[in-house]
Structure 1
């Protein structure tokens, strides 16, 4: 998956936005809360996962616990271009949903969720 494909897929989700944080990292948010992020080159890619997906991906070595965010069940992939586009899109949808469900009712209504 390319960084452009990632951005297109992330921004296609309801209420999703992109912002630049920590110098140049592209962070994908819903209601101001991050659900995915990538470095400027699009090499490293991190995102929120379900508990089960987090365990499966980190235990099999497909991903590693994300620095500073592993306790929140975030994983980091070393190479975005090596990931399957359909799989990443499914993960993005899940990550977006996990974060969106924690927003207040008012925030979800404002975002059309």
Structure 2
């Protein structure tokens, strides 16, 4: 996945915002909270960082091309960075970014969720 494809995909989610910060990283937020980062570091290949469930965190931490996210994971947060995988894993990356969006939006206050029209039943 290229950064352009990453930005297009993240921009397809409801009520997101995009900023470039932290050394020219593409940072995507929902309700003001980060759910995905494209870039971050000096790697030659694209790197993508996202929040995961605890089980996915442990699984991906051991998988080739993935690592606990620099800075975030060292503070006990369940964030993973994909940094070196074949392009045929784009669908897998999209799944994890989608899950990150879901996890972060569920972590917003009920009031914020309602304001944004997120995670509402019925």
Interval containing the TM-score (normalised by the shorter chain): 0.7 to 0.9
**Distance (whole Å) between structure 2 residues aligned to residue 27 and residue 81 of structure 1:** 22
* Structure 1 partner of 2:117: 112
* Structure 2 partner of 1:45: 48
- Using the size of structure 1 for normalisation, the TM-score is 0.88
- Rg: which structure is higher? 2
Q: Which has the higher contact order (CA 8 A, sep 6+)?
A: 1
Q: Any unmatched runs of 5+ in structure 1? A: none
* Structure 2 partner of 1:84: 89
RMSD (Å) for aligned C-alpha atoms: 2.0
* Structure 2 partner of 1:16: 16
Task: Report the more deviating stretch, 17-26 or 38-47.
Answer: 38-47
* Structure 1 partner of 2:61: 58
- Using the size of structure 2 for normalisation, the TM-score is 0.82
* Structure 1 partner of 2:98: 93
Q: 4+ runs of 1 displaced by more than 4 Å?
A: none
Deviation per CA, 1:72-106: give whole Å up to 9, x if none. Answer: 11111223763622212211110001111111112
Matches within 5 A, 1:26-41: 26-39=26-39
Q: Any unmatched runs of 5+ in structure 2? A: none
The 3-state SS of whatever aligns with 1:37 is: strand
* Structure 2 partner of 1:68: 71
